[in-house]
Chains A and B, each alone.
Chain A
């Protein structure tokens, strides 16, 4: 359904991604793991053209963009509209209420009927457990609550693909669970998701496939039981050891 072929991205003379291939089938959850600075965020941002790849084809069956050629702005916007993104730092609109944050995309971009969108937005808030917070402003919410609003805002545009960039790594430990729970529900509902995360246990539970990247290349990929419990590559082993035994 969604695929990436020969993706390359360079910042100055720092080649961050060196020819990445990946495929995300409908309803599947892909977890991306890797050390800090390995290019996970850049990869995710290339998937919805927040970052423009130097080379490679990115897109859905019915809408592919070839970045080796000059790409029109409109094509990027079309690609972006098919995926929703959840940021590490939430990036909610501070001048709009929770409900307005969620309605912004469907009403302003998709030009859908305000009344229907409002009902859907309230349903989404119910899904993430924040129905009673609909009229508050982002600064009045905890980090975990803000991130759940961030998820609802991304879902509201009815994307085909949901992208998550370390959605819990800015959160206090006691708030991580509430966000992961929402994400697990989404996975159970059949959403197609690509999740960059350091939560190994969580990845093990919800991912259909795990991709381990380091130095801008996919070092290892496969089902969680293989990659996470039984990694073949030494780099994967070392990374997992470090993350599971932080004090060693």
Chain B
């Protein structure tokens, strides 16, 4: 095991510092980044499902509101959304820690993007499937839930898991509203080792990479299982 600095083509790599920092950073990743991602994604998917269903329905005023929501979220930077929610809540006399504030912002963001994915996958189910549901006597709702959504959600799994992996990385923005997650932890460590700060960031990048790599393996497994019944 390497315990001291290593010289490589004139560059001095601070192995010891990187080894010491690895666990503290990884632990914030496991304790904060991953739960933040999971919770935000879960809530986001629920919002997305509701949004998609409203947007394919013919409930006019509600459709309008959800259209504006999706358009606004997609048309503004996530960092700006985070800041707005962070500073807006106190204005509304709501006191909330940075962590739940970040969850709200990320959930709303996921909700908008994922609703587009879900809506597109609902629309990709052939019209004949709706009609087949109707002809065996089903209502719109029943057809939607028994016939269309099971097929649509299967189609949306690959793009949704891409969004999930994307979210893992985007949660680093929560550092900007003082959530001590993986990236902010590295910033803190870096601040006390300014000369070697780039290596701390490289370490952080490496940890993100490992997490995303593991998730992408899980994604492939999931997709393979889902494809079992739909080989054409």
**Which A positions have Cβ atoms within 8 angstroms of B?**
48, 50, 73, 77, 80-81, 83-85, 87, 89, 91-95, 104-105, 108-110, 137, 139, 153-154, 156-157
Contact = CB atoms under 8 A, between A and B. Distances in A.
A93 B138 contact: no
Given A109-B137, A153-B136, 17 more contacts: A73-B139, A73-B140, A77-B139, A80-B134, A83-B135, A87-B128, A87-B132, A94-B151, A95-B150, A95-B151, A105-B137, A109-B138, A139-B232, A154-B135, A156-B136, A157-B136, A157-B137
B134 to A, nearest CB: 6
Contact of B137 (A50, A77, A91): A77
B interface: dominant SS: helix
A157 B134 CA distance: 12
Nearest to A153: B136
Nearest to B139: A77
A93 B135 contact: no
Contacts of B142: 108-109
Contacts of B128: 87, 89, 91
Contact of B131 (A50, A73, A83): A50
B146 interface: yes
A85 B128 CA distance: 12
Interface residues of B, number: 22
Contact of A95 (B134, B135, B136, B154): B154
Contacts of A85: 131, 135
Interface in B52-84: none
A139 B231 CA distance: 7
Contacts of A93: 129, 132, 147
Contacts of B95: none
20 contacts: A48-B135, A50-B131, A73-B139, A80-B135, A80-B137, A87-B128, A89-B128, A91-B126, A91-B129, A91-B131, A92-B132, A93-B129, A93-B132, A94-B151, A95-B154, A105-B138, A108-B138, A139-B230, A139-B232, A157-B137
Contacts of A110: 137
B229 interface: yes
A17 B199 CA distance: 75
A68 B202 CA distance: 72
